[in-house]
Structures are given as C-alpha cells and as structure tokens.
Amino acid sequence: MVRLAKAIIMRRRDFITLLGGAAATWPLAARAQQTATPVIGYLGLTTAQSSAYMLASFRKGLSELGFEDGRNVTIDYRFAERDVSRLPALAADLVNRKIAVIFTDTTLSALAVKAATSSIPIVFAIGADPVKSGLVTSLNRPGGNVTGVSFWTNQMEAKRLGLLHEVTPKVELIAALLNGNNPFVDNQTKDLEEASHALDLKVLIGRASNEHEITNAFTMFAQQRAGALLVGADPYFNSQRALVISPALQLRLPAIYEWREFAEAGGLMSYGTRLTGAYQQAGDFVARVLKGTNPADLPVQQVTKFEFVINLKTAKALGVKISDNLLSLADEVIE
C-alpha cells in the first residue's frame, strides 16, 4: 500500500508539472499569433517574369523602412497572366487570406481589389489618374483604404507625338498602337487626335490587346504606308516589348515608346517616368502602412520627373538623323 501511495503521489507531481508547463506555453503561443509575420498581398495584371525587375524596386522601398521579404514580412504574389477576367477572383482570394496590405500596379488590378475590400489597406502604383479612375476621392485626401503613386503615363501621348514628329518632320501619317482593353484608350485616342491636328499630321490608330491583333495592326500600318509609330502607354505592351519593337524595326518605322526599357531593348526612343522609382515609392508607402499609418492620411504621390532616352544604334540602323537639339534634350543616349 505504501508503495502504491508513493506511485500515485509521483504521478500527481508529474501531472502538475506537465500542466504548469502547458499553462506557461499557452500565453506564449497566443503572443506569437498576435505578432505573426505580416503578409503583403500583390496583385499584378501581367506575369512574374515581366514584373520581376519592378518588384525588386518595390522590395527595396520596403527594406529602406526595415521590412525584408522572408525575414519580418511575407509577400503573397498573384499574377493574372495578362488575363483581365482573372483579376476579380485573384483579388477575392487575397482578401480571404486576411492580408495586412495589398499592393497593385495597374489601374485594373487596383479597381479589382478595391471592389473586393473596403477595409484592407491598398497601395497602388499606376499610370492613370487615380481620381478619374475612382480609386481615391482626391490626391491630397485619398479617403477610404486606398492610396499610392501615380506616374501619369496615359497623359503623355501628345508629348510623345511631338517628339516623334521632330525626329520625322517629313512624315505625314503616323501610326499609333493602343490597347483596346485599356480603360483609358478613348482618352488616349482623343489626346492623339487633338495633338495631331495641332501638328498638321494624320494619325492611323490600331487597337490591339493580344499577339494576333498586334500582327494585324502592323499589317494595316504597312498597307497604309505609315511613316512612323507611337506605341501607347499600356502595361500589356510593356510586358510584351518584343512583340511591338520587332515589327517596328522590320517595317523600318521610327518609333517612340513610354518606358526607357523599350529603348534599352532596341526601340528608337522613349519618353516617360522611371518605373523603378515609382515602385520603390510604393514600397515605402506599404511599409508606412505596416507601421500603422492610415492610407487615408497618405496623399497620393505624383511622379514628376520624366526621362527622354534615345537609342542611337537603332537610329543608325533605321537611317534616322537625330538632331543636335534632341540629343541635348535626352537624359540618356544609348550607343
């Protein structure tokens, strides 16, 4: 009996010790849940490959305020693979995962996320007017759960047309390739038509949103004997640069594009803001939201620095003479 009593006492002590240890670990587990690594959702319209260099700048913006992917923050990526119809479902999926903040880099993806949530903070980096797009109430007072960076690409078509005309002053018919799925294609068309009238030019507009339509558009440009080309600002064209640069070179069309990446890839000229800078600023915004800033208190940042890039190697291949005046205006000349 004595031995049995001692065994019972020992088991009781072990049980109490185990219970005490478990009780000590429960609060720790609860605190670990509360301080779990925050998750940033990303919704992109194009592909992981085409967005890689821009997202590297986004992560740089995050890191400058102390957030590093894989260390104290996690980024959950979603790519629509250039299929606009997938955006609502991808946005809903991110929202259902209880993301801390969502970053988007096109107007369409930003609108899809805004439609999916009114509570999760949203930060955008887009080329369209965020007020006219319905993303924010005003630039200084965004209101709601949305803010970000705007780099105004869709408003620069007239400026690009003027630069192209200066390079090709004798060309009377200029082709313009626009994406028919871009929500601001009508505005782009109107701006180009007004600018062409002021310059006494004719503009032949071809709309394309996939590879087949791009081929058809260039066939039309060749048949109508267009003498130069303007490629409208659009994320799809940016993600498929070779599809628009190659036929322009084959048709020997002097062309101007929106981003420096086009000129670096063999396009003649580009005029627009620097994408990497806008993405880095967006990373800064996301970091500030993670630190507790309300998106409604973050005025929309407008990128105001534009860069003009000329590829002289392409100019020589096309037999295009670039004036000393334009060369002096260029921020970078690729030789």
Tokens found for residue 310: 């000329």
Question: Phi/psi of residue 67, each to 5°?
Answer: -110, 125
Sheet holding 269-273, edge to edge: 202-207, 173-178, 228-231, 255-257, 269-273, 306-311, 332-334
Q: Which amino acid is located at 284 in the chain?
A: D
Confidence of residue 153 (pLDDT cuts 50, 70, 90): confident
Question: What's the rounded Cα separation, in Å, for the pair 33 and 173?
Answer: 64
Pairing of strands 269-273, 306-311: antiparallel
Confidence of residue 154 (pLDDT cuts 50, 70, 90): low
Burial of 98 (0-12, 13-18, 19+ CB in 10 A): exposed
What pLDDT was estimated at residue 19? 36
Residue position matching structure tokens 């609502």:
88
Task: Assess whether pLDDT exceeds 80 at residue 335.
Answer: yes
Contact 103, 42 (CB under 8 A): yes
Fold match between domain 39-152+275-302 and domain 154-272+306-334:
yes
pLDDT > 70 in the chain, percent: 89
CATH fourth-level superfamily of 154-272+306-334: Response regulator (3.40.50.2300)
pTM of the model: 0.80
Domain locations along the chain: 39-152+275-302, 154-272+306-334
What pLDDT was estimated at residue 18? 37
Tokens found for residue 141: 């007072």
**What radius of gyration do the chain's Cα atoms show?**
27
Confidence of residue 183 (pLDDT cuts 50, 70, 90): confident
What pLDDT was estimated at residue 305? 82
CA angle 184, 188, 190 (to 5 degrees): 115
CATH class of 39-152+275-302: alpha beta
How much is the average pLDDT of 287-298?
96
